[in-house]
Amino acid sequence: MRIIYILTSLGIGGAEKQVVDLAERMAARGHSVAFLVLKHSGEEWPVKLPVLRLNMARTPFGILRGLRFARKFAALFHADLVHSHTFPGNLFARLLKLMLLMDSPAPWLINTIHNVHEGGWHRMMIYRLTGPLANLVTAVSTAAAERFVRLRAVAASKMRVLTNGVDIDVFSPDRGRRRRTRVSMQTGKAFVWIAIGRLVDAKDYPNLLHAFEEVQRVYPASQLWIAGEGDTAEWRSERLNGTEDGGVELLGLRRDVADLLDAADGYVLSSAWEGMPLAVAEAMAMEKPVVATDVGGVRELVGDAGLIVPPKDSFALAAGMTKVMGMDRFERHSIGRRARERVRDRFSIDAKAAEWEQLYGELVYDKNS
């Protein structure tokens, strides 16, 4: 098959990493794969596959220009299937499909939704009005799928759930790496919590900071690392309110996520909304006990291999964190082992690539039959 993946950008984010990993595995399985990227985004995931960068301006002329280049690219590539991701990419792909219908034959179009929330009512209306242009819509969690169907943004007959996957070979505990990273981070014997994700409202880091203040009342030597892209200077000056001196470290954008997860003792998610957070799955693969808010597909992901607490409740989040810290090492290790086994059995990226390949094949075969 010949597959084009459409993304808003290749920026350092969970959705982008998931698509890059999937594309690489599809190429390794013998398929012809290329990326079509709408805009440049500073730091990006490295890719070895062909990439058409549209550098598209958010103006009517810029969009039309981008569509024209994308149409030529898709025709020259002889795509069997276009697979787009997140609202901007999905909408662009639908407009591209409208243009490609003038050609014969037009490729199949799959849209993937990566979050329970992808905007307000106007975006849901756009999804609904342009729905006939997509052959299939997938969501990374049942929670996301149900919400979009309930809002009538996507027809139930077109919706499928296919969850994210983790490379369990990359995210595998290593005692030597853990020791080296903790030495470099000067953690000593402190219990370290880590949270990974952009400094955006969805992650609700104020909730986490309030929770961590409560945690430190019980465990004053504990540390909290927050790794993610964003204006760390603003957060230090306006939102930390001095708590950074109490063990909070804003690490900014990091590429050594596996090292940081290995060095940490527990993973905490404080989000107000999510789809299927990849960082949580990566932490689970690293055998870390997880405390996470009950949003999006988190409960589907964590199962009984972690603690789930209500969102926007810093006292409940703190209680979950202190409960984990109060466990003995054997109990925490047992939770961590269950977490890795759950990811290995249900959320391996190689297994997910096989599921995608089967789905692609069914669509292309049905089209050509």
What is the residue-wise DSSP string for 176-191? HHHHHHHHHHT-TT--
- Asked if pLDDT for residue 368 goes beyond 60, the answer is no
Find, among 248, 251, 268, 247, the residue nearest to 260 by Cα. Answer: 251
Residues 337-355, mean pLDDT to the nearest whole number: 95
pLDDT of residue 332: 95
Rg for the chain, CA atoms, rounded: 21
In the prediction, which pLDDT does 302 show? 96
* Contacts of residue 334, Cβ cutoff 8 Å, sequence gap at least 6: none
Helices (H), the chain: 14-28, 60-77, 86-100, 121-130, 142-150, 175-185, 205-218, 232-234, 257-263, 278-285, 298-302, 314-326, 329-346, 349-368
Q: Which amino acid is at 61?
A: F
Residue 187 has pLDDT above 80, yes or no: yes
Give the C-alpha separation, 339 to 282, whole Å: 10
Picking from 20, 64, 16, 58, the residue whose alpha carbon sits closest to that of residue 39 is 58
Cα-based distances in Å from 112 to 148, 175, 254, 274: 12, 37, 26, 14
Band (55; pLDDT cuts 50, 70, 90): very high
The residue that leads in pLDDT, 320 or 12, is 320
Start-to-end CA span in the chain (Å):
15
- Which residue, 294, 290, 117, is CA-closest to 195? 290
Q: Give dist(CA 257, CA 249) in Å, integer.
A: 15
Q: What are phi and psi of 101, to 5 degrees?
A: -65, -20
Q: Enumerate domains of the chain plus CATH numbers.
A: 2-165+349-368 (3.40.50.2000), 175-346 (3.40.50.2000)
d(CA 147, CA 166): 24
**Neighbour count for residue 233 (Cβ, 10 Å):** 10
pLDDT in tens, 67-124: 999 999 999 999 999 999 999 999 999 999 999 988 778 899 999 999 999 989 999 9
Decide which of 268 and 367 is more confident.
268
- pLDDT band of 356, cuts 50, 70, 90: very high
Does the structure show a pLDDT above 70 at 236?
A: no
Instruction: Check whether 235 has a pLDDT greater than 80.
Output: no
| Residues 144 and 85 sit within 8 Å (Cβ to Cβ) | no
pLDDT grade, residue 242 (50/70/90)? very low
* CA nearest to 89, candidates 112, 119, 108: 112
| Average of per-residue pLDDT values in the chain | 92
Which pLDDT score is estimated for 149? 97
